[in-house]
Structure 1
């Protein structure tokens, strides 16, 4: 299975030109003023936890903590190629301000200052994600509700997230968000317990095309939503920051907190869904 997954990832990168999800060091988070329109900035400290899978896969993990006592739902976030979690800080802080613990590692070979940068290493990231989630549940203790965990990602991070709901299924996950995400050329079917998935896609994206993202959406057998942004490109969270922040926050409120009012607001964003 690992060899099949690796061939699929290599085919994906060659076919789509997915060699970088953002320019090295460039911010991929929404503008601060737009993020504040969705929720006030989190005032809690932002720690970094030093995880390492197998001794040779360092996974320093940034955590955004909400204010107030827990336990809170956990949102695990995977960055894109040549990015890191801080590049998405305003979006992730908006989720934390809404009451969610948000955590994301710098993957060892796909962030922009990786000592041995290797885009093909994305094939190993679903296992990294499962490891980090397990470590977070121990390290954060009462801050996190282990029954309310979700995964999100952008571009190659969204492909990592797809892996967590298919060939490397993590049954702990209750929902998922894919920003500019798609399946592999030889995809594993979505599997395991049903989990609502939300796709956020820029219609002008030339890296992960609209057709590729919608193709993955069509393969999801569970409740699902597709937010199409007609004027956005590969960084929809930056091109339409307020809309992406508010829609995704309502998605988390519904799927992780059972907030039916938030669910009812989702179609107002222009969302196509079977929720």
Structure 2
């Protein structure tokens, strides 16, 4: 009963934050459109952000399609950040499914932490939140670029950040004071807080973590969860390590996919049914445990 009450309170708090205020500030995003009722086919392309700069960013983009073209309508955006020695395509089991659910997912290959980086440097993670914002600004321009297939299809006023491991820390680092109101929600998978992150305006955050993670202990994720001031939830993968639950077909993947998709539909589309489904979709005896709390 306690979890149900917390989930109900979290739903009320989040939907209040998503609803248009009677005295909305100039430039405030309009109400979101209804969440898709059926899955889309998925297209994929690669764009490069600032190719001639010191930090060019190849970005893999998954997007909903119909009849071989970009699906009609505007779709909220999810920025997905990979971990150390990884690549965007290694996360396609999750990101492509989010696109099928009605999101445009953009995943940069970070210049110093991706697999095969010429000058690998784990400390470069501290620069990745700024890289994430470069990708978002690029998508804003892309949405207005005549002739681009994605032009007019990106709801760049409704963006979530998500990421695994170092990408989870990158995600937390994007939630700074003074950030753009485009960034509405975050999903931190096997990660934790970053200096200067988890600050500023309260935003709903979902944490996903294996309880036996030896690379980033679950206590690190729990500490970040307890620092948040907005609505927050925590999905634990019982007895699991650093990310095997992100592989389709392995234990916990179905619950991670359902929970993260519910969370994105809830926060970016304002879908109350998705918010109500969260506790049930997250729970599988012996595999997962879920808790949530409203904004403080």
Q: TM-score range by the shorter chain?
A: 0.7 to 0.9
> How far apart, in 1, do the equivalents of 2:155 and 2:106 lie?
14
> How far apart, in 2, do the equivalents of 1:135 and 1:252 lie?
21
Q: Which residue of 2 aligns with 1:207?
A: 215
> Once the 2 structures are TM-superposed, how far is the Cα of residue 241 of structure 1 from its aligned partner?
1.3
> How far apart, in 1, do the equivalents of 2:51 and 2:269 lie?
31
Q: Does 1:48 align with 2:51?
A: no
Larger radius of gyration: 2
Query: Quick check: which one's helix share is greater?
Result: 1
Check conservation: 1:126, 1:168, Cα contact below 8 A.
no
Evaluate the alpha carbon distance shift between residue 89 and residue 98 of structure 1 in structure 2; reply closer, same or farther with a 3 A threshold: same
> Once the 2 structures are TM-superposed, how far is the Cα of residue 191 of structure 1 from its aligned partner?
2.3
Q: Which residue of 1 aligns with 2:111?
A: 108
Q: Does 1:258 align with 2:258?
A: no
Evaluate the alpha carbon distance shift between residue 248 and residue 224 of structure 1 in structure 2; reply closer, same or farther with a 3 A threshold: same
Structure 1 vs Structure 2 CA RMSD: 1.8
> How far apart, in 1, do the equivalents of 2:192 and 2:171 lie?
10
Alignment of 1:90-109 (within 5 A): 90-109=93-112
Q: Which residue of 1 aligns with 2:182?
A: 172
**2:161 alignment partner, one of 147, 151, 154:** 151
> Once the 2 structures are TM-superposed, how far is the Cα of residue 100 of structure 1 from its aligned partner?
0.4
The superposition leaves residues 79-119 of structure 1 with CA deviations (integer Å, 9 ceiling, x where unpaired) of 00000110000100110000000011100110111111111
Consecutive unaligned residues in structure 1, runs of 5 or more:
1-38
> Once the 2 structures are TM-superposed, how far is the Cα of residue 243 of structure 1 from its aligned partner?
1.0
> How far apart, in 1, do the equivalents of 2:174 and 2:198 lie?
9
The superposition leaves residues 166-210 of structure 1 with CA deviations (integer Å, 9 ceiling, x where unpaired) of 3684432000000001124xx336222221000001001011111
Check conservation: 2:82, 2:109, Cα contact below 8 A.
yes
Q: Which residue of 2 aligns with 1:160?
A: 170
Check conservation: 1:76, 1:151, Cα contact below 8 A.
yes
> How far apart, in 2, do the equivalents of 1:59 and 1:138 lie?
15
Check conservation: 2:246, 2:256, Cα contact below 8 A.
yes
**2:203 alignment partner, one of 183, 192, 195:** 195
Alignment of 1:236-275 (within 5 A): 236-238=245-247, 239=250, 240-268=252-280, 269-270=282-283, 271-275=290-294
> Once the 2 structures are TM-superposed, how far is the Cα of residue 121 of structure 1 from its aligned partner?
0.8
Q: Which residue of 2 aligns with 1:129?
A: 132
> How far apart, in 2, do the equivalents of 1:167 and 1:161 lie?
14
> How far apart, in 2, do the equivalents of 1:274 and 1:104 lie?
29
Evaluate the alpha carbon distance shift between residue 126 and residue 264 of structure 1 in structure 2; reply closer, same or farther with a 3 A threshold: same
Evaluate the alpha carbon distance shift between residue 189 and residue 151 of structure 1 in structure 2; reply closer, same or farther with a 3 A threshold: closer
Check conservation: 2:173, 2:197, Cα contact below 8 A.
no
> Once the 2 structures are TM-superposed, how far is the Cα of residue 123 of structure 1 from its aligned partner?
1.1
> Once the 2 structures are TM-superposed, how far is the Cα of residue 138 of structure 1 from its aligned partner?
1.6
Evaluate the alpha carbon distance shift between residue 148 and residue 61 of structure 1 in structure 2; reply closer, same or farther with a 3 A threshold: same
Runs of 4+ displaced beyond 6 Å: none
The range that moved more, 241-250 or 164-173, is: 164-173
> Once the 2 structures are TM-superposed, how far is the Cα of residue 54 of structure 1 from its aligned partner?
6.9
Give the TM-score of the pair, scaled to structure 1.
0.80
Check conservation: 2:190, 2:208, Cα contact below 8 A.
yes
Evaluate the alpha carbon distance shift between residue 229 and residue 44 of structure 1 in structure 2; reply closer, same or farther with a 3 A threshold: closer
> How far apart, in 1, do the equivalents of 2:165 and 2:226 lie?
18
